[in-house]
């Protein structure tokens, strides 16, 4: 079983996101991905943690 410090570190990386279609809350790891998939309505939606699209200058 994990110690209390390891458990607190793992839980600090989790954040709750909400599906814009059915308002279902999902607990996910704080990592930017392109899309999230709702487990209830199976819609794909843009990641609210991603910070938007970044453009590179050439």
Residue-wise pLDDT tens for the chain (58 aa)? 679 999 999 889 999 999 999 999 999 998 888 899 999 999 999 988 876 566 666 6
Where does 1-58 have alpha helices with state H? 4-12
Q: Which domain holds residue 34?
A: 12-46
CB atoms within 10 A of CB 36: 19
- Report the C-alpha gap between 26 and 20 in whole angstroms: 12
User: How far is Cα of residue 2 from the mean position of the Cα atoms in its chain?
Assistant: 23
Domain count, the chain: 1
pTM of the predicted protein model? 0.65
In a domain, 51, yes or no: no
Domain assignment present for residue 20? The answer is yes
Q: For the chain, what's the residue count?
A: 58
CB atoms within 10 A of CB 48: 13
For residue 35, is it within any domain? yes
Collapsed DSSP state (helix, strand, coil) of residue 6: helix
């Amino acid at each position: 079983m994990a110690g209390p410090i390891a458990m607190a570190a793992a839980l600090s990386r989790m954040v709750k996101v909400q599906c814009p279609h059915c308002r279902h809350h999902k607990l996910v790891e704080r990592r930017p991905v392109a899309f999230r998939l709702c487990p209830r309505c199976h819609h794909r939606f843009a990641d609210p943690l991603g910070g938007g699209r970044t453009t590179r200058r050439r």
